[in-house]
Structure 1
Amino acid sequence: MKTALKCSLFGLALLTFDAWAQVPGLANCTRSANLLACVDANGNAYSVNTAGKTIYLRGFEKIGQRYWAQTNSIYGQLTFFTGIASDGEAWVGYNRRVGWTTINRFSSSGGSTGKFTCSRLTGC
């Protein structure tokens, strides 16, 4: 779950900061109007597709050899997400923007829970 969540959060960041897709070593990405598709050096792959205020993420986690999908719905400063992996693990969570800070919480059926805060100035 943690790898899938990192990939999905990273994918959202790439949508927000397109310049990151050009930094060597992070991921090799292809972009169209609504779709961003990336593969990293470790063999993980993911895509981010936007449709209005909904973001669809799909990916492949190389280490766990599993596919995953996540849907994010944006309501103002809140983004709710739900996801499922090919091994049956499911997760839910939200991101809340407060100024330049994002508060993130998630919980998964595999027993993982987490809360972390990210800032544009100090990172996560």
Structure 2
Amino acid sequence: MHNALKCTLLSLSLLAAANACAQAPSLAKCTRSANLLACVDPDGNAYSVATAGSTTYMRGFEVSGKRYWAQTSSRYGQLTFFTGLASDGEAWVGYSRRVGWTTLNRFSSSGGSSGKFTCSRLTGC
């Protein structure tokens, strides 16, 4: 998957980090309301995150790939499952599992990418 999409997946697993990004103008400029966060980074990549109950909806535009993408995530206790689709036809699925202050993440895409990574609230990803 492309770098902007990977960063967005990281944002999902640590939505609190999105608040930090909103306060760091060198990373991205963000606008926030009660349940919507919209950001644009210095390269022109843009994304928005909206929440409705335990479901999160993300949409964005990736400059390097010149493509639009959308992702939906649903939370069930400590597990969050997500699926996404890009305008070039790439699709992806994955999950995040919280264990204390650590998040275990796995994803796979139709473009051949797959991986796993661990994030901590103390040390990052």
TM bracket, shorter-chain basis: over 0.9
Gaps of 5+ in 1: none
Q: In structure 1, what is the Cα distance between the partners aligned to 2:124 and 2:13? A: 15
Percent of aligned pairs with the same amino acid: 73
Structure 1 length normalisation: TM-score? 0.93
1:97 aligns with 2:89: no
How far off is 1:111 after superposition?
0.5
> Residue 6 of structure 1: SS of its match in structure 2?
helix
Aligned to 1:24, the other structure's residue is in SS state coil
Shift of 1:23: 1.1
Per-residue Cα deviation, 1:15-46 (whole angstroms, up to 9, x for no partner)? 42424311121100011111100000010000
Change (3 A) 1:47 1:26: same
Alignment of 1:41-120 (within 5 A): 41-120=42-121
Partner SS for 2:64: coil
Which residue type is aligned with residue 2 of structure 1?
A: H
Q: 1:99 to 1:12 in 2, by over 3 A?
A: closer
- The one-letter code of the counterpart of 2:88 is D
1:31 corresponds to which residue? 32
Give the Å deviation of 1:11. 5.4
- What is the root-mean-square deviation of aligned Cα atoms in Å? 1.4
CA distance in 2, matches of 1:11, 1:23: 17
TM-score, with length taken from structure 2: 0.92
CA distance 1:44–1:64, change in 2 (3 Å): same
User: 1:12/1:113 Cα in 2 relative to 1: closer, same or farther (>3 Å)?
Assistant: closer
